[in-house]
Structure 1
Amino acid sequence: EINGRLSILTTTFEKNLLNDTNDLAVLFDDVTELDGLTEGELSAAARAAADRGIMGGWLISLTLYTGHPYLGSLHNRRSRERIMAASRARGTRDNGNDNRPVLREIVQLRAERAELLGYRSHADYVTSDETARSPEAVRDLLFRLAAPAARNARTEQASLQAMADAQAEPFTIEAHDWAYFTEKVRSAEYDIDTAALRPWFEAERVLQDGVFRAATQLYGITFTERPDLPGYHPDVRVFEVFNADGSALGLYLLDLYTRDSKRGGAWMNSIVSQSQLRGTAPVVVNNLNVVKPEPGTPTLLTLDEVTTFFHEFGHAL
């Protein structure tokens, strides 16, 4: 009964989060407020607004759980603040999508389940069969990491603040400024412009010459696209995966682009689990939230998106 209720609550949480994410998409009616975005990103924002019946506006969808990829390039500080505030407000607005009561019930039921099973807490329950074996071991590891991580963050903050102090109107660095001034410091100190790298990271080349090629070189597996096999959405591509000896291994699905019906972030999930006992081949999906360009325009990834792509593909492997 508890597990059944937790399953319902987890689904409710995800549904509320998705609904509030869509509801909190940030609308701009002046394109100058989006100075710093590429033409492709502006076109995608205008198309997103038009898809909701808003003409002459630019709609920025919230593609990550916290923050947004555009925070690193938007010159307008108020625009960055609006996007960050919307990202952080999800599920906490006293509306039909408020997840706070959902979370409270989840916590209560998890504690009740742990007690019934003889554990001190939910943390003890979930770590009992993991490598750490106990919450104390996890806490000890985090405490060892916390101090040096905090020192590094303070050092970085000082560098960013120095850059902000040099502006025509100095201000104190806040969360919505961090990514933007990180890019400015990187450019000033290392002469690196991550935006200039994007033409080298065309999505199809990253997929074929990067992700798939690495898997072939390391493990001998190959990938053949199967346009005859429909995905669960028109944007989803299906690939059949083969072992080095040519035998079929399974299916790999790539769901690259963001859309209103898709939760934020990037992840891997398994549609069919591999089982030698049952004779089932794996069907796995990689999900990202890349902004879809205009038809006929190549999809150019950021360096962070390329890194995320490889990371999630590692889970798929």
Structure 2
Amino acid sequence: MFEKLGHVLVRRRKAVLALFIIAVIATGAIGSLVFSRLQDGGYSDPKSDSAQVTQYLSETFNVQDPAVVLLVDAGTTLSDPDVVMRATNLENAINTDPEVTRTLSYWSSGGSPLFVSKDQKASYIFIYSKDKDPTVATDLAKRILDAYQGKKFGFTIYVGGYATFSYSISDQISKDLALAESISIPLTFILLIFVFGGLIASAMPLVVGVSAILGAFFALYLISLATGVSIFALNLVTGMGLGLGIDYSLLMVNRFREELHHGRSVEESVAITVKTAGRTVFFSGITVMITLASLMFFPLMFLKSFGYAGVTVVAMAVLGAIIPLPAILAL
């Protein structure tokens, strides 16, 4: 089967390469949408006793955790008339946000001591969102951070809370991924040049690795339409995508070069490469996918997402190594 596939890829190499380029562009464009759909949280079992109690309290008594929490340092007594006026203006401004349902603080609660610091100079402001789950109100958290963090309304304001934590994690992961790829891809390319001694041969493993990442992003986007996917899945995709893409490609390219060195034609070399190295890559990928698929049986969305990410990125790396790569080698 694998040898026959190799011959087909050689004969249809231009068509395969054209379809590969179209697929990479399409999956890259659609897969980029996944960043806005990924979620933080998912660290607990939604069917656990604690989760069911939380849901019951929310539905029955409208008990809700604040999405964003402000620590407002007045620098003086909270009951000072000027402080009360400025704090009222601050809460009124926050309540103009369409996603905010209400705020609660020392001032709006009638002077409750539960919100007050020990030195009586700072108060919490709890900000509640329309979404019952505070971890997903990241858009609100970003707006609050941009508008109120720092010196505002004569106060020193610090922004925290579940939604802020989720937004900060998502934002930092996106920045870290961009930084990691901007460093790892050029360095890997330089190392591959020393290994292969040529630009074209060195680029092939990177092409497979990057296409595996883009393909996995596309798959995760489709999965996110049906269920929650953790933001941390991106870390696994980029790491395994580059690693396995390069690893599988090295195996294929080295075997192809060996066959050429033995005096075989390009078509024979590609067919034997797919038959031997391609078969190895295929069953290696299947083994890794089965192992990672076990994570999907955990009730925690956080762990399930690693299963989704691992299976999809390995599948894409395997496909990239045994289909478009042999077609490229045959050119």
Give me the TM-score of the superposition, normalised by structure 1.
0.27
Higher helix residue share: 2
Larger radius of gyration: 2
Give me the TM-score of the superposition, normalised by structure 2.
0.26
